[in-house]
Structure 1
Amino acid sequence: MSGSRLIYAFGLAILLSQISVILSGGSVPVVFIGSENQKLGDHVSALGVLQKEEFDSVVEAKVGVSRKPIVVFSRDNLCVEELRQQKYGKDDFNTIYYFPAVDSPLSTLSNLKSYNVSTDDKPESIDDGQVYIVTVANLSTIPELYKSFKALNSEVHVVVTGESCSYSRSERSKRAVTVRAEPELIVQVDKILLYSSQGIYVKFPESETSYFLGTPKNTSAEGNATHSYRLDMAFTANGTNIDVNLQLQFSVLSAGYWYLESVGFEGNSTTVRLTPAKPIYFPFEFSYHCSLNNIFSSNTTSVNFTDLQVQIFSSTNNDTLKFSDGYDCVGFTTIPIWSGIFVTAIMALIMIWGLLMILDIRTMDRFDDPKGKTITIATSE
């Protein structure tokens, strides 16, 4: 085996050993409660696994020669994730010292020199030289237990730890999934297919609230696939008895392109034609898509399409239409692209200027001879 392979195998063995130590069940978190004015091993790193010898020095620094009583709240299974879920405050404990991973802490606490071990969870008195190991099922009960032991002996040392940590990935807290605010809208009429991920919202005159239109009651389309098309949709606004009719007018204003010119609005005693904030157009045999909000407005009336996609087909061979390639509303040169070009251009100019300065440095081409005549250089040179 070559030397490089030996080095590779040795490094892999070290990596696997470190992973096994970190993931082993013997490493559990340890919390020292109420440890004012005592330094708990400042030389110990809190980011790695605290080995048994290091933890022995930590406990020795805490207890010293005082032989003050120690109460250990222990669980059969205790992991960092469970401690993070506990919302302890200053009313519960004055000070907390925390070590995320300690190798077999109960073994150290159960075999302290000059200490006797007791498993009495409700002692009548707390004596020096005693280690009380109390098994707790619920971490939320620790503040009350802590106060009861403190009432018996105010100088008692309190430790929270466990025997092992077995925490499966499936038990990890899941991030909340964003729930769709409103159902999506899909309209297929004749040769027109329209989609909106969150439906259509409408704002009536003299109203500050936008109403969701939901699923259309009636849909129809008329026109031809070469000049113009109009899509009619009838709704009843959610939470109201107001009927709303929308007419989407598509026209061919230039060769090979459909333009969504305007949206006719009828509802709440208002009839108005709404225009988009910027032109909406797409080539034949392509679908128009825009992940931004497409707002059609006129004075105080507006209609908002969220994540709009629409296409007009020249022919239909089956009952189910499918969108073709999307013609997106976002152009190629977006703001991030222009920002990158601008910053790169500035850096290139600085680099070119620096290179020109370096190339303009003039070195000496004549040198003084100590045995000859002194060189005289004119000011112009």
Structure 2
Amino acid sequence: MSSNKMPNIMAFIAISFAIFSAGSCSSQVPLVMWSSEGYRLPLVASPAAGHIISNVQLMAYLNSVLESAPQNVILFLQDKLSKDDFTMYGGVFGNKQDSAFPNLESALQTSSSLVLPGVSWLGARAFPALLQEKLGISPLSIDVDTLEHLQLNASSTTLLVIHLPYSSGAFLSCKEVLRNNDEIIGKVLTIMKTQGVPYTAFYTGLMPSRVIAEPSLIGHTSMRRTLLQSVVNVVEPLMFNNTEGPCIMLWAQNITVSFNDQEWTDLGPLTFGPGAPVNTTASSCSQNVSRLVLDYGTFKTNNPFRLIFNMSQRRYPVSARNWFTLDTVELEFNSSKVTFNGSRGVYAPSEYSFHCQNVNNFQKPLLVPRTVNDTKWRILFTDFQIQGFNINKTTNFSYASDCASFFTPGIWMGLVTSLLMLLILTFGLHMIMQLRSMDRFDDPKGPSISVPQSE
């Protein structure tokens, strides 16, 4: 993975751990995995916020990752680890000296990585057994000195387990312990690089830790929650300007394409950030029509490759306002063109931008292939946001109209349960109101009520 991808990945890691940091640390541990330089982990859907990954789900992640990743596996197994260890002791605003994880950050910066913020700690304790079952070999527990004298074979499968302590006392604080463990990680990765052995690394804990804020950290907790964000540089959205100023803005964490289910290729580093080689000079915009052309030149081969976003703006009398739609997304490669219709799923009020976490043409598609031949191509936008009209001069997106529906499954479950309880309450009140008292009673001081009987 190129270094240009890292700001997006590190921002995702920071946001992921910040979301999960509000939860309890007592039942889950984080899991960070990455590969050596030149190897790419497969695209795996990230878990929903608040979801704790079980053993079965963790095994599914391992199956996906280890299919294409190097089979020399290094497991850094710390006695205790929680996401708060990262949010409390990670770098702050680019200050790498202030971080307890400089080597881990550097490894993530130069490699393909995957972060699971919440893994069941019982599943984490069984993680070495899961790796052993997947790889079919016994784990080898070693230290750094032993690894220096161990000659590894790049073509064979190995499972190395390196135990890292986690304890703080009168002489070492939690941050110093984590920094020492990070130095061990750095030495191991240096040895692997020196020997030229590709690897897949995992970093997790046997059980959660309870992080107690040190006095010097009080008041900086909100800043520390940026996790490994010490190397994050804010990447600006792609912007096309005409003679009157900015008129089209685009942002995506990843722009990945694939043909005939072959290897996915990420165009994000070629699109965003300073020095990105994409060419947008063929783009155009007017009051009602905008066209953003991303020309990547010769893409992998000597054939030109382009992505084209066609947007339009029109007034709808029913809503009494203007709306913009992403009419089509066109993919031009080797003199052939593939077209995806997006007007049914990608739309927003003209003064807003459109945002969606996942825009694709194959799973709950917002982009619909126009012909059967177009289905050979797969395109995926992650954390996608676009605006083609009414852009302010501040170079920021307008308020985003999100594709996520308001009535989520959880909200529907709550509404149905509330309605059922309301019906039960209404029925109970109705039954109580139908109760009637007797209109005649026996008087113990008077004569008893006699009921004449006829023979």
Q: Name the structure where helix makes up a greater proportion of residues.
A: 2
Q: Name the structure where strand makes up a greater proportion of residues.
A: 1
> TM-score range with shorter-chain normalisation?
0.3 to 0.5
Q: Normalization by structure 2: what TM-score?
A: 0.40
Q: Normalization by structure 1: what TM-score?
A: 0.47
If you compute each CA radius of gyration, which structure gives the higher value, 1 or 2? Answer: 1
